Chains A and B, each alone.
Chain A
């Protein structure tokens, strides 16, 4: 298990505790996400601050994690390190997910 999860102010926070999401763990990651996000509040924030490396398999596993949520729930991403952020931008996946620089930014009240 490379995830821990908790609920804070009606947001489910899932923290990745592994430093890599790569081909070797992609299937396990998707399964762990399915278990961690079964039920719970509509908004899920995935905290990626510990992750130093992601490849296209890991990226696919995060997309799959979003797709396996029910239609009324959403998955936002927080704390992307530079190498992880780069993969999201090069693949344009930054247009699919809301990215926050940190978990606290993701949990801050919406402006305006």
Chain B
């Protein structure tokens, strides 16, 4: 049987923390651990934080769902929400942030997509029927 599961939680910072912990615990029970699990946890935190802070900004608080499936191509996470679509229907590039700046001008954000892109093997995004669907693949066995 293919290990798979689905978790849903409210798109609030507090609920997101608990929801991410539940997904991480489920993945751990399927044998994922160490650095690969730490990477998945970080990516999931960044993706869900973006949904809380951007997709649902100024809207009724909604839900986030996270589905996972272990397959031949690794671990695939599918994250859905009913928030606003990404600008121009495409994912942020996640460019390196310029740090050659005086201390008081150093950026305090803009690192999320850099981390997501560096720690995933594959990313795809579609907007369909009012949903955002982000699919993330991790090369884990």
Contacts and interface: CB of A to CB of B under 8 A. Distances in A.
Contacts of B53: 23
Q: B-side binding surface: helix, strand, loop or mixed?
A: helix
Interface in A47-87: 53, 55-57, 59-61, 63-64, 66-67, 71, 82-83, 86-87
Contacts of A22: 17, 45
Contacts of B97: 91-92
A67 B96 contact: no
A17 to B, nearest CB: 17
A90 interface: yes
Given A24-B14, A24-B17, A63-B107, A53 B41 contact: yes
A92 B58 CA distance: 32
Interface residues of B, number: 28
A36 B97 CA distance: 29
Nearest to B106: A63
Interface string B27-46: 00000000100100110011
Given A63-B107, A90-B114, 6 more contacts: A55-B45, A55-B46, A57-B109, A60-B107, A67-B103, A87-B115
